[in-house]
A and B are shown apart, each in its own frame.
Chain A
């Protein structure tokens, strides 16, 4: 089941990215294309087989996992910028790009790198499962490493949450609000990942479900916005005007 979820998410991300290639070539919203590409790369690196292949090429000491962390940081940062601007959330934008946001990014990056260097990371293993199994010290370090990696995405997403709730409660069109709802679910899921250490081992599959659900919801939310835009551009523009007041 988890395999289906993983590869299914990869497929959705990959298709969404490919669909955006033409508009990216035309120069529309290139940063959105890069966000989708980064998310696709992140999903690819979170799946066993591709991860091991990439990591072997990088020396087999799990550097790929470090790369994955920074890919996620970058994707989340750019996504956060776009969302804050799109939802007109100046407060969130200040939080993300201001001193607090920079400090959070720096702290998370430093923590990830330092903990990674302290860990005996030999032997490619997706999610560092085999690395954690090497002993109590390694297990603890891998847990800290994971927590440090989840901190920054959760920070960005929590900063954006109020703006998304505002959008949801507004009177915007249904498609736009569905997109905002999906993004909200995705951000909540990303923030929930902070609770991973307290999930009991028998429910370990929840980690996968939450992680992949988060990415799926975010990507599908973005696709919905795009769809709404495309549909609105095709249909005659509904402008607010005196004669355009809804009549029965």
Chain B
């Protein structure tokens, strides 16, 4: 459920009393028609709020928390768990870490920051949403989220596969898993790690804390999932080409 337009306009009036809608759109880079449409429909996207907060140098997290449905964001501030942090490391960064730990040519054990092992790419990555949910899932999480929100499990899974999750569902997932609320918002790319209040280098620290066995097993799982999705894409491409060859 996006933000109600009325509450959004109230918020906008509080944070930028003198700015016109045109000014807001100009500084935040939102198309005027987009914002107008969201206001007319009475539902303002969370991403709109985040863009405007950024443009006004406000904390997007605090801005979200000022709305009733996201009030929890301010009340229960819990740092991300190590598993959540690791889930937000891109697969290729994990593989690089494996190689850097094994090969002296990379500047020795745990080399990082060099040209061979660049800094970790900021979240979100190509499968960040699913990896996040997998990292906090105790086996029953999807059922609990589905029961709490009324979203069908297959729709939930479809969002994860597409690497998407609505902010509302991301918060509901975090609530059902009993973890901090920022993890899902970062994994879906709504806010950055910095905006979520994650300490700089938190991901790197979590990565360094993994044992060789844990890191290798995790990288292996990621690589297998990536291989699966690439194979599926290749199959679909082959199918499409067959259709075109015969019917196009």
Contact = CB atoms under 8 A, between A and B. Distances in A.
Contacts of B248: 29, 225-226, 228-230
A86 B229 contact: no
Q: Which of B124, B234, B237 has the most CB of A within 10 A?
A: B237
A173 B240 contact: yes
A32 B244 CA distance: 11
Nearest to B162: A246
Interface stretch (A10-18, A46-54, A237-245): A237-245
A245 B229 contact: yes
Q: How large is the interface on A (under 10, 10 to 19, 20 to 34, 35 or more residues)?
A: 20 to 34
A175 to B, nearest CB: 10
Interface in B191-248: 226, 229-230, 232-234, 236-237, 239-240, 242-248
B242 A242 contact: no
B247 A83 contact: yes
Given A240-B234, A242-B230, A225 B243 contact: yes
Interface string A165-192: 0010011110010011000000000000
Contacts of B226: 242, 245
A222 B246 CA distance: 10
Contacts of B232: 171
B239 A246 contact: no
A87 B239 CA distance: 7
B239 A88 contact: yes
Q: How large is the interface on B (under 10, 10 to 19, 20 to 34, 35 or more residues)?
A: 20 to 34
A239 B163 contact: no
A234 interface: no
B126 A248 contact: yes
A143 B245 CA distance: 39
Given A85-B246, A225-B248, A248 B236 contact: no
Interface in A115-159: none
B230 A176 contact: no
A176 B243 contact: yes
Contacts of B124: 248
Contacts of B184: none
A57 B246 CA distance: 36
A82 B226 CA distance: 34
Contacts of B126: 245-248
A82 B246 contact: yes
B244 A248 contact: no
B189 interface: yes
B247 A82 contact: yes
A245 B163 CA distance: 11
Contacts of A83: 246-247
A229 B248 CA distance: 6
Contacts of A241: 230
Interface in B83-133: 124-126, 128
B246 A86 contact: yes
Given A171-B236, A225-B247, A239-B237, A248 B242 contact: no
17 contacts: A29-B246, A85-B246, A86-B243, A86-B245, A86-B246, A87-B242, A167-B243, A171-B232, A179-B247, A228-B248, A229-B244, A240-B234, A242-B226, A246-B163, A248-B124, A248-B163, A248-B189
Q: Which 5 A-B pairs have the closest CB atoms?
A: A86-B246, A229-B248, A240-B233, A229-B244, A86-B247
Interface of B: 124-126, 128, 163, 189, 226, 229-230, 232-234, 236-237, 239-240, 242-248
Given A86-B245, A172-B239, A246-B126, 10 more contacts: A83-B246, A83-B247, A87-B243, A167-B243, A170-B236, A225-B243, A225-B248, A226-B247, A241-B230, A248-B124
